[in-house]
Chains A and B, each alone.
Chain A
């Protein structure tokens, strides 16, 4: 295991040089990996493992677009493609890649197939961490593990085909056979990970839920709105307010930060921007810190998960969601955004 120093904290990381594909094949040679769910993560992981010489079958509800997609991808019904239950019976490693809600729903049918020594595999820690809410409590005599790729299903596949890889986190929740760890490494590498870093089911889901509620999606939209409407209140035009709040950020600044770090971005902007950004960064941090503490507490104690499961299972969830999204789309800020995007030079559809 490579020990890598991340800003002063040393973490253990597994790379494909240390755990080569040949070893993964050796570890998995007597296993049948059943990938349940051919939706978002299923295709990438199953196709990559198959291309890496692992025995893989796919479980998917029949007569769905996903079933047809699986057939186009070379999975043969009755041979490598089965209904969910049959795949569960045939697999020795069950990759449970249904949606969080789908996992809860199918669980009673999956459980009987989790016989002694099988492996239950997740790509997300939700169902296990919040097992009090989901009811997904695995039997004691199986291994329960996780590899969570840090990218979309499509990038898992594309990076694999290009010969690069994707970074993933891994965790072991239950090691019945004593071989859970090497199986996890093998699965992680076989599905196309470039390197694997350790986590726990809890940490994976807590960071995930905090991240999407916080900086990645919730907080960013919130502070953008706050700034946009402040500018508008002072008579700035919608296009000016949008450009200074969103467009410049997404089209140039954040890409520079991604490439070279935030300090580089600060170092190379105008001194006016530099001074202001440095002075205000701390004030924003201090202002939102209490909110992040509250957020993390609610993620940790299951409040957030409970809301998700309750709201998502309401019959009119989709309807209510559409209304909420429409409200955002129709807001002045995002309407202005639509126009600004149209004016981008690369927007070829609108061209001659």
Chain B
């Protein structure tokens, strides 16, 4: 255990005063701000790393974050933050959406400029204080931002291919993984061997020959982790690596991370769920409202009181065999008051909402959905469960009119066969969608209010002026979801979780007949998750039917009446909720 700490759990910043000049005029390094995912190697000098390696066996300073203040485009954050990582510690960072967790870890690799303070990479040896840039060649990073950036790159490449009239498949997985190696050099046999090792560790061998656009969200996440591991980093920053992964993948990844922690590499894990804090995590840092709120040894920081204060709602921490979980404490439950539109959906289009007959989606030899027979009636709320790559997202896209193979199948929406002369706008008009994927697609620079209003026209971006009645509807939903402050902000400057709330409002403004919530809790903190689930539960009780896609059985809402389980593109089970969950041997 790291010594020399005056008192664990004390508020941030003052744990160990050092005799450094903390004036903002003396900033020991400033980085370029760029749109880049990660640092530019041309500015770093790999040679210096190989100089003096420090033994990991004894407790030594590893990284010292010395009273930094970070500058964001519109404000300062993490003012005067102090954080010391020692060589025998692995840290987890917890905090609400938008609190500054990602900014804190970005500061480590130089992804945000420091207004003042400095960061010392003690593991590089005694001279490290003079470093002007972080040693990016030995820091591996995986983040949701990076995932988004990769998808943007893919879109640009698609544009190039289209311009050149090519029918290519997109970037090869291997190419992305190899791009994690720092040096601009030819690949050699050692790299191939490393790839093989990493692929084994993450169980992604079967994905290596694929292309990025053909992968599911969870699969891409694993590819990014592999990419970060390629350079055998000294520090691995995993910023919410579990989001978007299914249960099995989460278990495998947790095992891998825990295993990696037995080696010399130090890990910083930004997490949203207590279950993700793998046993070998020794220390926890809590970030709240742009400040370090608590930090110290895991056992002392993880308490019901600290976590309740952190998230601003009553939470109970349970500890079981070295792993943690949270449950919600008692709360005065006020019934949500939904706008009356929600109660007034006309029964147009009959009883059947969605009907699929022998529905198959394939790309060449790859079968994504295999002869699916399924229907959903008005008044039913369905949950679709399944691991990554089971076909859940494809199913959603067929319903939304976003997968063109809907036309090659027998799919009936609201009683009309797809391809019988309807427009996708008529279909979209009756549906709301909130998903992690929409969030990736929605990259407009506009006000959050306008993003919500764009739901009225099913557009990404706002191309029509809402009427005054429509504006009233938007405002009612803003009130209901308690996002008045967010709605005033520019959407692109919101945090990940805040954006999700805006997109939920966007889905609801038209009071859809069918609300599709595709992994709506991905990336959300405990409090936001609870809020979203509570609202969805309430929506499920109205005349809006809910189609809820998740990979977490623990998030199946009480209002869900039916469950479908997909596996490898095939319908595995479907029926009434109680029956299916009994069969699968787990309680909701």
A contact residues vs B (CB 8 Å cutoff): 21, 25, 39-40, 47, 50-53, 55, 65-66, 68-69, 72-76, 80, 152-155, 161-165, 343, 345-352
Contacts and interface: CB of A to CB of B under 8 A. Distances in A.
Contacts of A47: 404
A345 B184 CA distance: 15
Nearest to A153: B162
Contacts of B463: 163-165
A74 B404 CA distance: 5
B359 to A, nearest CB: 12
A162 B407 contact: no
A39 B167 CA distance: 9
A75 B408 contact: yes
B146 to A, nearest CB: 9
Contacts of A52: 423-425
Nearest to B418: A74
Given A163-B459, A164-B463, A351 B41 contact: yes
Contacts of A164: 459, 461, 463
Contacts of B461: 162-164
Interface string B160-198: 001101010000000000011010100000000000000
Given A74-B406, A162-B459, A163-B459, A350 B41 contact: yes
A21 B429 CA distance: 15
Contacts of B460: 161-163
B404 A152 contact: no
B180 A50 contact: no
B571 interface: no
B231 interface: yes
Contacts of A163: 454, 457-461, 463
Shortest Cβ-Cβ A-B pairs, 3 listed: A163-B459, A345-B34, A74-B404
Interface string B364-401: 10000000000000000000000000000000000001
B149 interface: yes
Nearest to B39: A352
B182 A352 contact: yes
Contacts of B231: 352
Contacts of B422: 53
A272 B137 CA distance: 42
Interface string B28-52: 0000101111111110100000000
A74 B368 CA distance: 14
A154 B162 contact: yes
Contacts of B36: 345-348, 351
A348 B37 CA distance: 7
A154 B153 contact: no
A74 B408 contact: yes
B404 A73 contact: yes
B425 A352 contact: no
A68 B406 CA distance: 17
A179 to B, nearest CB: 20
B416 to A, nearest CB: 11
A56 B34 CA distance: 45
A251 to B, nearest CB: 13
Contact of B408 (A76, A343, A345, A348): A76
Interface in B404-430: 404-408, 419, 421-426
Interface string B127-147: 000000000110101000000
A346 B149 CA distance: 10
Nearest to A79: B408
A339 to B, nearest CB: 11
A343 B32 CA distance: 13
B481 to A, nearest CB: 23
Contacts of A51: 401, 423-424
A352 B38 CA distance: 6
Contacts of A21: 423, 425
A146 B162 CA distance: 22
A76 to B, nearest CB: 5
B42 A343 contact: yes
23 contacts: A25-B423, A53-B426, A69-B167, A72-B363, A73-B404, A74-B408, A75-B408, A80-B407, A162-B459, A162-B461, A163-B459, A163-B461, A163-B463, A343-B42, A345-B34, A345-B40, A348-B149, A349-B179, A351-B36, A351-B37, A352-B44, A352-B141, A352-B182
B131 to A, nearest CB: 15
Contacts of B141: 352
Contacts of A350: 40-42, 179, 184
Contact of B405 (A74, A165, A351): A74
B423 A352 contact: no
A66 B423 contact: no
A349 B426 CA distance: 42
A347 B40 CA distance: 8
Contacts of B203: none
Given A163-B457, A351-B37, A152 B159 contact: yes
Nearest to B44: A352
A346 B404 contact: no
A154 to B, nearest CB: 4
A15 B141 CA distance: 48
B162 A352 contact: no
B579 interface: no
Contacts of B137: 352
A50 B421 contact: no
A145 to B, nearest CB: 22
A228 B261 CA distance: 54
Contacts of B247: none
A24 to B, nearest CB: 10
A352 B149 contact: no
Contact of B407 (A69, A74, A153): A74
B159 A154 contact: yes
A36 B449 CA distance: 43
B537 interface: no
Given A163-B454, A164-B459, 17 more contacts: A25-B423, A39-B165, A50-B419, A51-B423, A55-B421, A68-B167, A72-B405, A73-B405, A75-B408, A76-B408, A154-B159, A163-B457, A163-B459, A164-B463, A345-B35, A348-B38, A351-B41
A68 B165 contact: no
Nearest to A66: B167
Given A53-B423, A154-B158, A161 B402 contact: yes
B162 A351 contact: no
Nearest to A46: B404
Interface string B461-480: 10100000000000000000
Contacts of A75: 407-408
Nearest to B420: A53
A347 B36 CA distance: 7
Contacts of B454: 163
B364 A68 contact: yes
A112 B184 CA distance: 59
Contacts of A343: 42
